[in-house]
């Protein structure tokens, strides 16, 4: 895994030392007499929701008959795409990684057939793969809900990473592969949903 970012380290240390009362800070009113007290769990949940929306919309945008598209099939001169994952493989990889990363926080069992980062081999159709993806993000929301300023620096189970680091790493990893999904969509002549109606 990548090293901690200096900003994240500084933030977590300040919270741990009581310099920032993150769970008790007030946010601006969002309506008449509406006040909310943000929590670490809610903040991380929003981060997961943001990437979940992008990834799911991108996955749903790829037609079923192109779900197994790989740039290798385009034989691009000077390109080096031999053996890269298909679009379906990217989606399954995000979901599988979500399970491996976030299940250590919730201590939930992995889905049947999930052995590695490629996801279960029996998932073939677009509908099955997207459902696997949705279920993996649901796990992420459950993991985020367990976070507190008291336990965020604890290492769950046998993990060498903290609960906060694992939650953030799942988000960062999904964004990384979302970028690859976007390239596959454009190579297939599809404008990504997040870019529609905007200037490219």
Report pLDDT digits (tens) over 25-47. 334 445 555 566 789 999 999 99
Tokens describing residue 188: 């297939």
Q: Please report, for the chain, the start and end positions of each structural domain, with discontinuous segments joined by +.
A: 40-191
- Looking at domain 40-191, does it have CATH number 1.10.760.10? no
The DSSP secondary-structure symbol of 179 reads: H
Q: How much is the pLDDT for 104? A: 94
Exposed, middle or buried by CB within 10 Å (0-12, 13-18, 19+), for 8?
A: middle
Q: Which of these, 173, 169, 178, lies nearest to 90 by C-alpha position?
A: 178
- Count, residues in the chain: 200
Query: Roughly what angle, to the nearest 10 degrees, separates helices 126-145 and 87-106?
Result: 30
pLDDT at 189 over 90: yes
Q: How confident is the model at residue 199 (pLDDT cuts 50, 70, 90)?
A: low
Per the prediction, the chain carries an average pLDDT of 86
Place of tokens 């964004």: 175
Q: How confident is the model at residue 22 (pLDDT cuts 50, 70, 90)?
A: very low
Q: How much is the pLDDT for 56? A: 98
Integer angstrom CA distances of residue 42 from 38, 91, 147, 160: 6, 25, 9, 24
Report pLDDT digits (tens) over 73-110. 998 888 889 999 999 999 999 999 999 999 999 999 99
| Distance between start and end Cα atoms, the chain | 33
If phi over 0 gives left and psi between -120 and 50 gives alpha, with beta otherwise, what is residue 108? Answer: beta
pTM for this one?
0.80
Report pLDDT digits (tens) over 112-159. 999 999 999 999 999 999 999 999 999 999 999 999 999 999 999 888
Q: Which of these, 185, 192, 146, lies nearest to 48 by C-alpha position?
A: 146
Residue 59 to residue 91: CA distance in whole angstroms: 7
pLDDT at 183 over 90: yes
Q: Which residues contact 9 (CB under 8 A, 6 or more apart)?
A: none
Q: How much is the pLDDT for 17? A: 42
Q: How much is the pLDDT for 158? A: 83
Q: How much is the pLDDT for 9? A: 45
């Amino acid at each position: 895994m990548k090293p901690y970012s200096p900003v994240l380290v500084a933030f977590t240390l300040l919270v741990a030392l009581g310099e920032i009362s993150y769970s008790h800070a007030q946010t601006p009113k969002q309506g008449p007499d509406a006040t909310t007290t943000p929590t670490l769990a809610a903040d991380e949940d929003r981060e997961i929701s943001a990437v979940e929306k992008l990834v799911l919309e991108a996955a749903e945008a790829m037609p079923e008959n192109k779900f197994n598209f790989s740039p290798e099939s385009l034989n691009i001169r000077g390109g080096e795409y031999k053996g890269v994952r298909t679009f379906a493989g990217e989606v399954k990889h995000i979901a599988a990684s979500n399970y491996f990363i976030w299940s250590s926080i919730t201590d939930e069992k992995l889905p049947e057939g999930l052995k590695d980062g490629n996801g279960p081999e029996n998932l073939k159709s677009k509908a099955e793969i997207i459902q696997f993806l949705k279920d993996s993000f649901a796990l992420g929301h459950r993991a985020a809900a367990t976070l507190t300023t008291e336990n965020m620096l604890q290492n769950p189970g046998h993990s060498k990473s903290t609960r906060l680091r694992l939650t953030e790493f799942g988000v960062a990893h999904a964004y990384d592969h979302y970028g690859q999904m976007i390239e596959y969509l454009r190579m297939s002549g599809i404008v990504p949903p997040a870019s529609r109606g905007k200037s490219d």
